[in-house]
Structure 1
């Protein structure tokens, strides 16, 4: 099922004012048709982007709290003030390195949507879970935790499937493998809410690059991508943008 395509660039803990200028200049030369682009830099770079641009901004994390004594955290309202309109939540690196639970991730989605941000909910399995044939079980649990918390949260989100074994490794799920999981996600969502399943955008994330993106975008249930390392290279990211519009 094809929607308006969505490309999300996750810079992680990378980037500089120079990269902001390079990416902005490169994307300014592209007319996006049937494609929305979101750049998610480190918090400190959000204000470096010009007000007038042909893409949106997002953040890589948000607190479940609205304010208070939470050193090092950032609230949804603060992200909005920094011109972000999207936020990545539940990225595998946050789940693994920061021990974020399904319950915490659901709370973050609630905080983000209540403030007016669009969450990009990441789900996916480890290599071990894949080898144990638990991929669908893991993803279903991650989605169900959000639905159980507040059913309407999924309707207000974008979902990114990121096989953890393919992130930053150079390995990528084949287009057919990725499509199979995206179809499972949409089918599982249909069991929860058929209206959500038909409208929600599903992105693939996992070593997306200029070489494999076209085949991924051709799959019926893949509506774009969450791009990591390749989004730090202006020319390659521009190529991915072009492929998403073909």
Structure 2
């Protein structure tokens, strides 16, 4: 049985005061979340603060990105997986749609980040998803399949068991639009089926999160679908009450 995971992507938001207030709010209410694993992904600069605040808590944390290189070296501005692991990170988001679209990260580059995070002992959260133009063009599965193939070709399908997949329809992020539970389930089922064709055991284990504007009022319906194992939450993760409500909606 796959445990639901609800992970909050803070994006480029927050301050030390905000991080403290939010984490304290989450710690105060986490006891009411009975089934889901909860995690937060703050900015790099807030990771030390968050790590300290979460000490002794069941809430895990991770980063929003990771360097594609392993170890140390002359890579100005980068943060390695080993550094993140040393701070206590469990997860590292790779290939978020904003990294792909705004910063030109290719499928192959994202796959290298997945590999680097995994080698450092982190659980990469691999984001995949299509734009509105791609959905309307009927190529959702082609796009998502290509994004998955980049990781599978580099690391092998077995590597997916060491990570998490987050399906994020780009057209439903920050737009107020949300894929219907049926639309989300359809793509989640495609992802799991694609993996199952290569390794049924891995397909049964891997958590596939929905990352398209999940909120307290639609979380339960989305997570009731058989192939939706939780959510990668954006804006709603910045409010303790909303984020906890999504966690409780997992059952």
TM-score (norm 2): 0.94
Aligned ranges 1:144-223 → 2 under 5 Å: 144-151=149-156, 152-223=158-229
Distance 2:215 2:15 in 1: 21
Q: Please state how far the C-alpha of 1:17 moved relative to its aligned partner.
A: 1.6
Cα distance in 2 for residues equivalent to 1:182 and 1:174: 12
Q: Does the CA contact (< 8 Å) of 1:24 and 1:53 recur in 2?
A: no
Q: In 2, distance between residues paired with 1:23 and 1:68?
A: 35
The superposition leaves residues 92-126 of structure 1 with CA deviations (integer Å, 9 ceiling, x where unpaired) of 00011111111111111111111100000000001
Q: Tell me what 2:235 maps to.
A: 229
Q: Given the alignment, which residue of 60, 63, 66 partners 1:62?
A: 66
Q: Which residue of 2 aligns with 1:81?
A: 86
Root-mean-square deviation (CA, aligned residues, Å) is 1.1
2:25 — aligned with what?
A: 26
Segments of 5+ residues of structure 2 without an aligned counterpart are none
1:16 match = 15
Residue pair 1:160, 1:225 contacting (<8 A) in 2 also: yes
Counterpart of 2:107 in structure 1 is 102
Range with bigger deviation, 12-21 or 167-176 = 12-21
Q: Which runs of 4+ in 1 moved over 6 A?
A: none
**Which residues of 2 match residues 105-116 of structure 1 at below 5 A?**
105-116=110-121
Which piece of structure 1 moves more, 18-27 or 137-146? Answer: 18-27
What secondary structure sits across from 1:88 in the alignment? Answer: strand
What SS class does the counterpart of residue 169 from structure 1 fall into?
coil
Residues 14-42 of structure 1 deviation map (CA, whole Å, 9 limit, x = unaligned): 01222222222222232232211110000
Partner Cα separation in structure 1 for residue 245 and residue 162 of structure 2: 29
Distance 1:234 1:33 in 2: 16
CA distance in 2, matches of 1:28, 1:55: 8
Secondary structure at 2:232 match in 1: strand
1:48-81 alpha-carbon deviations (Å, 9 max, x no partner) = 1222222001000000112211111110011112
Q: Distance in 2 between matches of 1:96 and 1:181?
A: 21
Does 2:137 correspond to 1:137? no
User: Partner of 1:103: helix, strand, or coil?
Assistant: helix
Mean Cα displacement is larger for which, 108-117 or 149-158? Answer: 149-158
Residues 164 and 206 in structure 2, CA contact (< 8 A), matched pair in contact too: yes
Structure 1 residue 53 and structure 2 residue 57: aligned?
yes
